[in-house]
């Protein structure tokens, strides 16, 4: 079941990458590269920083092929691909939840501190999109005022760490924390929840 959800998250990220590439007039090479970066970028930074070997997408060697199929299909049928966008919110939020909790678990397995484990959760869940934005020559939208995204991941990561410390709830920690992130993210989008922010005037 986790495998199935993870695959859904990879697919949602890949479609997002293809859409981003099309918006910037890229061809198939760009669509595939962006789809790879958005899907695997966060997890790759995590694996490199924690010295985990082999990288998760080298281990799950079918993931890059799935992403390739999405990039090819998305480039052949761009209009259909763009029509899927409104349907991506739920798999996208699911991807945020799953990747974040997987990132926290990897960091704990490498015996980092709790704070750093929460950071790796956020990096795994969100930095694929950040690198995608940098490649497209945009200031990363994650860093600009917008409905909460990193905040959902960060608080969900702490919830997971808290549940892990409670003997009775430990076994439900993954499910509860992932569900918390998904619901939090969808609510943040729906009700436009943002971090407080003062515009800076020099």
Q: Does 73 bind a copy of itself (CB under 8 A)?
A: no
Among the listed residues 2, 113, 175, 190, the single contact to a copy of itself using CB under 8 A: 113
Question: Judged by CB under 8 A, does residue 112 bind a copy of itself?
Answer: yes
How many chain residues interact with a copy of itself (CB under 8 A)?
A: 57
Residues 38, 98, 108, 119: which binds a copy of itself (CB under 8 A)?
119
| Residues 18-26: contacts with CB under 8 Å, at least 24 apart | 18/70, 18/71, 18/74, 18/75, 18/81, 19/74, 19/81, 19/82, 19/85, 20/132, 20/133, 20/136, 21/136, 22/74, 22/75, 22/78, 22/81, 22/82, 23/136, 24/136, 24/137
- By CB under 8 A, residue 27 contacts a copy of itself: yes
Under the criterion CB under 8 A, does residue 155 sit at the interface with a copy of itself? Answer: no
Residue choice 1, 3, 4, 25 for contact with a copy of itself (CB under 8 A): 25
Smallest separation, CB 41 to a copy of itself (Å): 12
Does residue 110 touch a copy of itself according to CB under 8 A?
A: yes
Under rule CB under 8 A, residue 106 binds a copy of itself: no
69 forms part of the interface with a copy of itself (CB under 8 A): no
190 binds a copy of itself (CB under 8 A): no
Binding of residue 86 to a copy of itself (CB under 8 A): no
Residue 58 interacts with a copy of itself (CB under 8 A): yes or no: yes
Q: How far apart are CA 149 and CA 77, in angstroms?
A: 29
Q: State how far Cα 184 lies from the chain centre.
A: 15
Interacting residue with a copy of itself among 5, 8, 116, 189 (CB under 8 A): 116
Does position 44 interact with a copy of itself (CB under 8 A)? The reply is: yes
Burial (0-12, 13-18, 19+ Cβ within 10 Å), 186: middle
Measured distance CA(30)–CA(20) in Å, rounded:
10
The single-letter DSSP state of residue 200 is P
């Amino acid at each position: 079941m986790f495998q199935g959800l993870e695959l859904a998250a990879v697919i949602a990220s890949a479609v997002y990458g293809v859409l981003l590439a099309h918006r910037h007039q890229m061809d198939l090479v760009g669509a595939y590269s962006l789809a790879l970066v958005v899907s695997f970028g966060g997890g790759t930074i995590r694996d490199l920083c924690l010295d985990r070997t082999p990288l998760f997408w080298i281990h799950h060697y079918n993931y890059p092929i799935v992403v390739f199929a999405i990039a090819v299909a998305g480039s052949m049928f761009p209009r259909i691909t763009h029509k899927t966008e409104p349907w991506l919110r739920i798999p996208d939020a699911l991807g945020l939840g799953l990747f974040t909790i997987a990132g926290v678990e990897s960091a704990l397995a490498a015996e980092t501190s709790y704070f750093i484990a929460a950071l790796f959760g956020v990096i795994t869940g969100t930095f694929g999109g950040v690198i995608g934005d940098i490649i497209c020559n945009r200031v990363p939208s994650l860093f600009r005022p917008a409905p909460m995204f990193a905040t959902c991941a960060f608080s969900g990561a702490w919830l997971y760490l808290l549940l892990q410390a409670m003997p009775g709830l430990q076994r439900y920690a993954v499910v509860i924390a992932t569900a918390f992130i998904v619901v939090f993210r969808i609510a943040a989008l729906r009700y436009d929840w943002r971090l407080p922010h003062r515009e800076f005037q020099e």
